[in-house]
Amino acid sequence: MADSLSDFERTDFSYEGTQKSVYRRGNGPAVIVIHEVPGITPEVANFGRRVSDAGFTTFMPMLFGDPGRDFSNSYAVQGILRACISREFSVLTARQSSPITNFVRALCREAHRECGGPGVGALGMCLTGGFALSLMVEPSVMAPVLSQPSLPFPIGSQRRAALGISERELEAVKERAKEGCRVMGLRFTGDPLVPGERFETLRRELGANFEGIEIDSSRGNPHGISRTAHSVLTLDLVDEEGHPTRAALDRVLGYFNERLRPETA
């Protein structure tokens, strides 16, 4: 069933000629939730609610799709096709971030200005999963989370291991990590869109400052997770104590708390 998003406040945010709707909910330090393909589905909205209910202000920019529309395979395909032809996204470039990340960085700055605290959290999913890494160039981003980072599309060995950011950005990310800004990543082990080589790159570049959560989705895994599982925190979340996706959700919220509200962690 479609989600009206009626419990979110809708505003518009503009930066360098780009304007997007932003859905906001809650109070406390800001967390930017960057939705997956095909858009802010009910599952993505529910994740945003979990974040705000945990004591944060959720900011969800609407980058593409129809707000609150139910997920369907045809809707997802439409979203991927739009991203492929959009100048805002770099779907195949191994060493270049998507141009839309400049807009999201500006939103991070504004959210920090409005909400205060030590900084903001930023979580991307699927096509936007790697955005949180690129956003670390912005000093206000203190808690980056990469959930099933799918760009660049893993076509060929180079892209399978690539992070989708420039060398300059990667050096900035590594410096921030040395200063204590840890990076978190989530993936299902059998997800062909997020190959293990990508997390190996993150471990090699960031060392102990990368916290990777890899959930077993191999054939015969103990929790019966589908081999096609992809969306750790939304469509494939099993919200039950003891399930690894629920444990991943709890860890993400705990990470935001550690980084953005250290006095209560």
Residue 96: predicted pLDDT? 74
Q: What percent of the chain has pLDDT over 90?
A: 86
CA distances from 18 to 63, 78, 104, 223 (A): 10, 22, 10, 43
Mean pLDDT is lowest, of 43-47, 57-61, 129-133, for: 129-133
Residue 222: predicted pLDDT? 97
Angle between the N-to-C axes of helices 42-53 and 244-260, in degrees from 0 to 180, rounded to the nearest 10: 50
Q: Could you tell me the CATH superfamily of domain 9-260? A: Alpha/Beta hydrolase fold, catalytic domain (3.40.50.1820)
108-120 in b/e form (b: 16+ CB < 10 A) is bebbbeebebebb
Residue 88: predicted pLDDT? 78
Q: Of 182, 160, 138, 157, which is closest to residue 30 (Cα–Cα)? A: 138
Q: Per-residue pLDDT for 95 more than 80?
A: no
Calculate mean pLDDT across residues 137-152.
Answer: 96
Calculate mean pLDDT across residues 174-197.
Answer: 96
Q: Using 50, 70 and 90 to split pLDDT, how confident is the model at 91?
A: low
Measure the CA–CA gap between 230 and 176, rounded to whole angstroms: 28
Residues 21 and 12 sit within 8 Å (Cβ to Cβ):
yes
pTM: 0.95
Q: Per-residue pLDDT for 83 more than 90?
A: no
Q: What percent of the chain has pLDDT over 70?
A: 98
pLDDT tens per residue across span 210-235: 999 999 999 999 999 999 999 999 99
Residue 92: predicted pLDDT? 60
Q: Of 94, 81, 221, 79, which is closest to residue 165 (Cα–Cα)? A: 94
Residue 98: predicted pLDDT? 86
| Residue 203 CB contacts under 8 Å (≥ 6 apart), including other chains | 210, 212
Question: What mean pLDDT is reported for the chain?
Answer: 94
For residue 59, list its beta bridge partners.
24, 32
Q: Per-residue pLDDT for 157 more than 70?
A: yes
